[in-house]
Structure 1
Amino acid sequence: MSTVDFATAVAQEEAYLQKLHPTPDDIPGCMKIFDDFLSCNITVNQIRSLYRYGQRAECGHKWEDFKFCMSITNLHPEERRNVWIRRRAEWWAHRRLSQSSEDIWEIRKEPLQNWPPATPTCDANAETIA
């Protein structure tokens, strides 16, 4: 389990996203987000989700992203970028701090001692079985 609290995780994600999307032109437009929603619903993706997880793909969050994008279109470009980054940072922070199907092992802080085990060497004088 992570030792980072939610506010710290959001701040870390915001810093990363600020670098990843340095200008307002770098954030995705509403049509790109709408395309992501539509592609989530196509048959191939739904079948893949059924195969992998035993249920249809959940696309509601992509629709919410599109509605959010449409709601911020009247903001100044830099303000729109900051609002979009804040929302994505919160999403990533929730994802990082919540349980996931990928949470199988704890991350090691240091390597295992004596791993891999030593391989026994062949003794040239040892008897061989014919």
Structure 2
Amino acid sequence: MGNPQVKVSDKFKAAVSQEEARLGYLHPTPEDIPTCMGAFDNFLSCNILGTQLKSIYRFGEMAQCSAKWNEFKFCMSIKGLHPEQRRDAWIRHRAEWWARRRLGLSSENVWETRTEPLRDYPPPLPPQHAMEALVE
């Protein structure tokens, strides 16, 4: 039996590689990556009263903004790098985030995928004469 940790690690590496390629395509130049000011704005918008009230209404708890704060801190930590290095670091960081999200739990872990349609669904219509009797 194989080591499950290795399989997860291989899956994670493959997912990161795929995400790096996708993000590299979407953000071809250093000017295309989000700014630190944008990350800070996202953090602040998470903490405003309206966002917090909406979160309490929808989920019964206040919005957790620590991930947005961490994104801002990461952005500030790479701000001094050469623009191309900053782009590469940002792409790697986001690719790892997307890979963790892709490999984490989702509705696919809860529901079994159907391989064939349900039998007798939708239910067959009653004969036409029965429908006419219902109308009268």
TM-score when scaled to structure 1? 0.80
Which residue does the alignment assign to 1:119? 124
Q: How many residues were matched structurally?
A: 127
Summarize the alignment of residues 49-64 of structure 1 with structure 2, pairs less than 5 Å apart.
49-64=55-70
* Root mean square deviation of aligned Cα: 2.9
1:27 to 16, 26, 33: 33
Specify whether residues 106 and 23 from structure 1 end up closer, same or farther in structure 2 by C-alpha distance, changes over 3 A only: farther
Unaligned runs of 5+ in 2: 1-7
Residues 28-107 of structure 1 mapped to structure 2, 5 A cutoff = 28-100=34-106, 104-107=110-113
TM-score (norm 2): 0.77
Structure 1 vs Structure 2: percent identity of aligned residues?
Answer: 54
Higher relative contact order (CA 8 A, sep 6+): 1
Which position in structure 2 is the counterpart of 1:6?
A: 12
Change (3 A) 1:100 1:43: farther
Q: Which has the higher helix share?
A: 2
Match of 1:128 in 2: 133
